[in-house]
Amino acid sequence: MHRGAFRKGFNRLAAIVVFGLAFSTGAIAQSSSGNLIGEGKAGDTVIIQGPDNGFHREMELKEDGKYQVRRIPLGDYTVTVKHADGTFSAPKTVSVRVGSTARVQ
C-alpha cells in the first residue's frame, strides 16, 4: 500500500512540475520591451530618458548618424539631441510599445 501511495504522490508532483514549466516558458517568451530608432548628424549625442521608469541612455552618433536602441522597457521617452557645438534640439516624445520599433521623427 505504501508503494501505491508513493507512486500516486510522485505522479502528482511530476504533473505539477510539467504544468509549471509549460506556463513559465510562455511567460519568458513574451516580450515586455520594444525598440527605438532615429537619425542625427555624426558627432551629435542622443539622450534618451524615460521619466516614468528611470531609463537613461546617452550615445554619440558615428559617421552615418543613425542610432538604434533595442529591448528598452515599454513607456514614453524624451529624446534630445546635443549637437557637436553644444546646442540642444527641441525634445521629442516617443512611445515604445510591445515588440515594436518607435521612430524618432
- Cα 58 to Cα 19, 43, 75, distances in angstroms: 43, 12, 18
Q: Is the pLDDT of residue 95 over 70?
A: yes
- Cα 56 to Cα 9, 13, 25, distances in angstroms: 51, 45, 30
pLDDT confidence of residue 12: 73
Domain map (residue ranges) of the chain: 1-30, 33-96
Mean pLDDT of 21-38: 69
In terms of CATH architecture, what is 33-96?
Sandwich (2.60)
| pLDDT tens-place string over residues 41-54 | 999 999 999 999 99
**CA separation for the pair 33, 86 (Å, rounded):** 32
Mean pLDDT of 24-32: 56
Mean pLDDT of 21-30: 52
Mean pLDDT of 90-100: 95
Answer for the pair 14, 7: CB distance below 8 angstroms, yes or no.
Answer: no
pTM for the full predicted model: 0.69
Among residues 54, 53, 39, 51, which one has the least CA distance to residue 105? 39
| Residue 94, φ and ψ in degrees, nearest 5 | -130, 140
The whole-chain average pLDDT of the chain stands at 85
